[in-house]
């Protein structure tokens, strides 16, 4: 009898570990399916390349807002919906109306992190559709996954999820956001931007932004073995192109807001009609999304505690 009793806890431990492994596998399968469905849908011919001001862009907005609604992501209290319209003039002097899609999850702190990705792309040219699977249906799909994760796991920071319009026309949506933010600009402590995270043959994901803000380096840690996060593309000593202002994080940088931009180097399908779902690296994309989420969780856990400490000092 005593021998049997000793074996029971060990058997229970094995059972519990088996259950945990099964749940993790199920979560991984669901993540894989949802991510790939989002990127495949947004980069399908039905969305006509999602160019600003077109029916395809309107369909993309409808898709994002529907996902936000189902996930329970809130529009800002003073907004009747998720949309932030803005006007701008293109290089040819033509007037455009863009529409950012904004939602948020309130955190324990009023300080915010803006998680962003642009949903627009190049549209059509003749009979060719520029579907922009990597650029940037990939970033939007990841953003939707992060929104789902934090809707189930309440964050410390207040998280703003921003699907920006008109990035391809000069970062117009991001610039409109920082010029008329839904919260006080000083409350935004960081921008995490994603633009092209689904197409790399060497499993290399770049993180730009730590040259100007080296204090962010310690948070860029992930245990995802297949993804190599490489710093650079903002440090002149590396010889890489400077990406600081080449995507929507540039609008935040102009306001001196720290940022981390995740992306890959240009590839043969960049800004080509061949940037289709069939040509992305699916395993890399899923791995990159997991790696970025790990970084966001690091920041939300560790950086938020420092801000709380600073608040306590001020109160004293």
pLDDT tens across 170-219, in order?
999 999 999 999 999 999 999 999 999 999 999 999 999 999 999 999 99
Mean pLDDT over 87-112 rounds to 94
pLDDT value of position 10: 55
With a cut of 90, say whether residue 124 has pLDDT above it: yes
More confidently predicted of 286 and 7: 286
Mean pLDDT over 223-239 rounds to 85
With a cut of 70, say whether residue 232 has pLDDT above it: yes
Residue 26's pLDDT band (boundaries 50, 70, 90)? low
Across the chain, mean pLDDT equals 90
Residue ranges of domains in the chain: 33-315
pLDDT value of position 237: 79
pLDDT value of position 5: 47
User: What are 140-171's pLDDT values in tens digits?
Assistant: 999 999 999 999 999 999 999 999 999 999 99
With a cut of 50, say whether residue 315 has pLDDT above it: no
d(CA 160, CA 157) in angstroms, rounded, equals: 9
User: What are 63-72's pLDDT values in tens digits?
Assistant: 999 999 999 9
pLDDT value of position 60: 98
User: What are 29-40's pLDDT values in tens digits?
Assistant: 776 799 999 999
pLDDT value of position 305: 81
Percent share of the chain, pLDDT over 90: 78
With a cut of 60, say whether residue 313 has pLDDT above it: no
- Least reliable range by pLDDT among 14-18, 113-117, 160-164, 236-240: 14-18
CATH number, domain 33-315, options 2.160.10.10, 3.30.70.1230, 3.30.70.20, 3.40.630.10: 3.40.630.10
Mean pLDDT over 285-303 rounds to 95
């Amino acid at each position: 009898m005593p021998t049997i009793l000793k074996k029971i806890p060990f058997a229970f431990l094995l059972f519990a570990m088996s259950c945990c492994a099964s749940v993790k596998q199920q979560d991984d399968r669901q993540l894989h399916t949802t991510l790939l469905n989002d990127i495949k849908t947004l980069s399908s011919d039905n969305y006509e390349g999602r160019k600003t001001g077109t029916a395809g862009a309107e369909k993309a907005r409808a898709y994002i807002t529907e996902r936000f609604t189902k996930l329970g992501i809130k529009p800002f209290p003073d907004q009747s919906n998720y949309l932030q319209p803005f006007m701008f003039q293109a290089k040819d002097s033509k007037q455009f109306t863009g529409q950012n899609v904004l939602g948020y999850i309130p955190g324990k702190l009023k300080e915010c992190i803006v998680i962003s990705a642009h949903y627009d792309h190049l549209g059509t040219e003749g009979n060719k559709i520029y579907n922009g699977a990597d650029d940037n249906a990939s970033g939007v799909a990841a953003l939707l996954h992060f929104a789902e994760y934090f809707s189930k796991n309440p964050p410390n920071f207040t998280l703003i999820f921003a699907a920006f319009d008109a990035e391809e026309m000069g970062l117009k949506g991001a610039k409109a956001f920082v010029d008329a933010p839904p919260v006080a600009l000083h409350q935004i402590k960081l921008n995490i931007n994603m633009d092209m995270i689904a197409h790399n043959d060497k499993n290399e994901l770049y993180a730009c932004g730590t040259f100007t803000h080296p204090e962010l380096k310690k948070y860029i840690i992930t245990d995802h073995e297949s993804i190599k996060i490489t710093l650079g593309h903002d440090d002149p000593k590396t010889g890489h192109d400077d990406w600081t202002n080449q995507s929507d994080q540039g609008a935040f940088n102009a306001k001196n807001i720290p940022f981390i931009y995740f992306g890959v180097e240009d590839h043969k399908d960049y800004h080509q009609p061949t940037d289709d779902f069939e040509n992305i690296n699916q395993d890399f994309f899923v791995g990159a999304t997991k790696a970025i989420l790990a970084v966001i969780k690091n920041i939300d856990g560790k950086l938020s505690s420092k801000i709380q400490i600073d608040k306590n000092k001020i109160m004293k």
